């Protein structure tokens, strides 16, 4: 259908109304799901609008609905390790709704955080998603009294809020049970600082599968710690592990390098599994690293749809929503690779 008559320029609601055979007022109401009309008329107007490539002006939509069609994303994860995949999921969820994402990185500065919150409110965002770099810390800014909906993702939320996070215990069980399934019996756990909530959750799940006989070494979130942990284990007495479940991919990569330096083959002699599925690390490890994916993109998608629902006035039950992790199998622990 060609309603533009060959003319150039933006397709307007006048064009949509003419093509659908309705008044401009009816076309506007149909596209905004307001007013009284038959379902057939509303559907015809929307179909025609799609056919002619009509894109409603955001300002005009905002004046009609009293919304800005923007969502603020506030984070202290300035490195972007967790926020970037979250933002990809948020954007993917909201783009079809004509909603844009406004990102503000605040580091750990309360004053800067307040400045960015005020900037978001001045831009009249429809809601805010707060994200961080660990599950057991709140952002250094109080969002409990802002006049727009707030959803938390991968950070500690305020009381009575909606909070999304990955299910670390379930992810750890996936990893350890896979190692057991592939025939490994002496599985050690090399992880980060015990003060982290995620570390305690993953360690608890590891012990649930392995029992108290399991070996746990706490250290730093770094390749150097993975390298050091292998040196410590292999310098000790007793039977050595035939598998290492590591707290993140950087630790795992350091462990793989240390094993190679000792002439220990991965995965033939020792299987290694990481956590995070950080592609830039996991795919470049040799052999490529099996890892637990926290599904951060899906977490962001769910957070985006939820803050949109709240902005539209729909009821959403408060509480913590734990999303399941996924094990991505590569060559570091044997088995058939998965995507």
Residue 229 has pLDDT above 70, yes or no: yes
R_g of the chain computed on alpha carbons? 25
User: 223 and 198: one domain?
Assistant: yes
78 — pLDDT class (breaks 50, 70, 90): confident
Residue 320 has pLDDT above 50, yes or no: yes
- For residue 304, what are the domain limits? 70-166+296-324
CA gap 333, 141 in Å, rounded: 42
pLDDT score, position 336: 59
Measured torsion, CA atoms of residues 152, 153, 154, 155, in degrees rounded to the nearest 10: -10
pLDDT score, position 163: 96
CA gap 78, 126 in Å, rounded: 23
- pLDDT single digits (tens) 235-275: 988 889 999 999 999 999 999 999 999 999 999 999 999 99
User: 142 and 111: one domain?
Assistant: yes
pLDDT score, position 61: 52
pLDDT score, position 50: 85
Query: Strand 319-323 to strand 70-75: parallel, antiparallel, or no bridges (unpaired)?
Result: unpaired
User: 80 and 23: one domain?
Assistant: no
User: Could you tell me if 190 and 270 are in contact, meaning their C-beta atoms sit under 8 angstroms apart?
Assistant: no
Decide if 1 is inside a domain: no
Residue 226 has pLDDT above 60, yes or no: yes
Tokens of 206: 């590891």
Residue 32 has pLDDT above 80, yes or no: no
CA gap 275, 66 in Å, rounded: 43
Decide if 181 is inside a domain: yes
User: 279 and 319: one domain?
Assistant: no
9 — pLDDT class (breaks 50, 70, 90): low
Tokens of 242: 């035939």
Decide if 65 is inside a domain: no
Burial 43-71 (b: 16+ CB within 10 A, else e): ebbbebbeebebebeeeeeeeeeebbbbb
CA distances from 194 to 134, 188, 221 (A): 13, 16, 11
Task: For residue 187, list its beta bridge partners.
Answer: 243
- pLDDT single digits (tens) 280-314: 899 999 999 999 999 999 999 999 999 999 988 89
Residue 227 has pLDDT above 70, yes or no: yes
Q: What is the mean pLDDT of residues 73-79?
A: 90
**CB atoms inside a 10 Å sphere around CB 217:** 19
107 — pLDDT class (breaks 50, 70, 90): confident
Decide if 218 is inside a domain: yes
CA gap 261, 239 in Å, rounded: 19
Task: For residue 101, list its beta bridge partners.
Answer: 71
CA gap 204, 128 in Å, rounded: 33
109 — pLDDT class (breaks 50, 70, 90): confident
pLDDT score, position 80: 82
User: Could you tell me if 130 and 155 are in contact, meaning their C-beta atoms sit under 8 angstroms apart?
Assistant: yes
User: 182 and 206: one domain?
Assistant: yes
Decide if 220 is inside a domain: yes
State how many domains the chain has: 3
Q: What is the mean pLDDT of residues 310-338?
A: 89
Q: What is the CATH number of the domain that holds 195?
A: 3.40.50.2300
Decide if 155 is inside a domain: yes
Decide if 282 is inside a domain: yes
pLDDT score, position 300: 96
User: 283 and 315: one domain?
Assistant: no
- Name the average pLDDT for the chain: 89
pLDDT score, position 60: 46
Q: Which of 56, 84, 107 is the last residue of a domain?
A: 56
Residue 2 has pLDDT above 50, yes or no: no
User: 172 and 287: one domain?
Assistant: yes
Residue 17 has pLDDT above 60, yes or no: yes
Mapped onto helix, strand or coil, the DSSP state of residue 187 is strand
Write down the pTM of the prediction. Answer: 0.79
The CA-based angle 204-205-208, given to 5 degrees, is 90
Burial 291-322 (b: 16+ CB within 10 A, else e): bbbbbbbbbbbbbbbbbbbbbeeeeeeeeebe
pLDDT score, position 55: 67
pLDDT score, position 267: 96
CA gap 221, 241 in Å, rounded: 21
Cis peptide, bond prior to residue 306, ω within 30 of zero: no
User: Could you tell me if 148 and 127 are in contact, meaning their C-beta atoms sit under 8 angstroms apart?
Assistant: yes
- pLDDT over 70 for what percent of the chain? 92
């Amino acid at each position: 259908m060609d309603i533009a008559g060959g003319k150039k320029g933006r397709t307007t609601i006048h064009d949509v109304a003419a093509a659908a055979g309705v008044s401009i007022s009816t076309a506007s109401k149909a596209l905004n799901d307001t007013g009284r009309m038959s379902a057939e008329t509303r559907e015809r107007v929307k179909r025609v609008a799609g056919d002619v490539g009509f894109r409603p002006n955001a300002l005009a939509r905002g004046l009609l609905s009293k919304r800005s069609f923007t969502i603020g994303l506030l984070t202290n994860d300035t490195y972007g390790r967790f926020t970037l995949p979250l933002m990809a999921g948020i954007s993917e969820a909201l783009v079809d709704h004509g909603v844009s994402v406004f990102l503000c990185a605040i580091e750990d500065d309360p004053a800067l955080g307040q400045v960015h919150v005020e900037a978001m409110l001045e831009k009249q965002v429809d809601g805010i998603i707060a994200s961080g770099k660990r599950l057991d810390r709140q952002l250094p800014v109080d969002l409990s009294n802002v006049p727009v909906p707030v959803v938390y993702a991968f950070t500690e939320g305020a009381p009575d809020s909606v909070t999304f996070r990955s299910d670390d215990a379930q992810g750890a069980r996936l990893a350890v049970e896979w190692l057991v399934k592939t025939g490994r019996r002496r599985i050690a756990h090399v992880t980060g600082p015990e003060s982290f909530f995620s570390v305690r959750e993953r360690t608890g799940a590891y012990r649930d599968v392995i029992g108290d006989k399991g070996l746990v070494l706490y250290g730093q979130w770094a390749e150097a710690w993975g390298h050091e942990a292998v040196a410590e284990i292999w310098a000790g007495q007793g039977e050595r592990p035939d598998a290492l479940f590591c707290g993140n991919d950087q630790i795992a990569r350091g462990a793989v390098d240390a094993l190679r330096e000792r002439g220990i083959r991965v995965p033939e002699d020792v299987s290694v599994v990481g956590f995070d599925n950080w592609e830039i690390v996991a795919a470049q490890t040799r052999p490529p690293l099996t890892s637990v994916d926290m599904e951060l993109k899906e977490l962001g998608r769910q957070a985006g749809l939820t803050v949109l629902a709240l902005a539209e006035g729909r009821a959403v039950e408060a509480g913590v929503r734990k999303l399941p992790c996924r094990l991505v199998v590569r060559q570091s622990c044997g088995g058939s690779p998965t995507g």
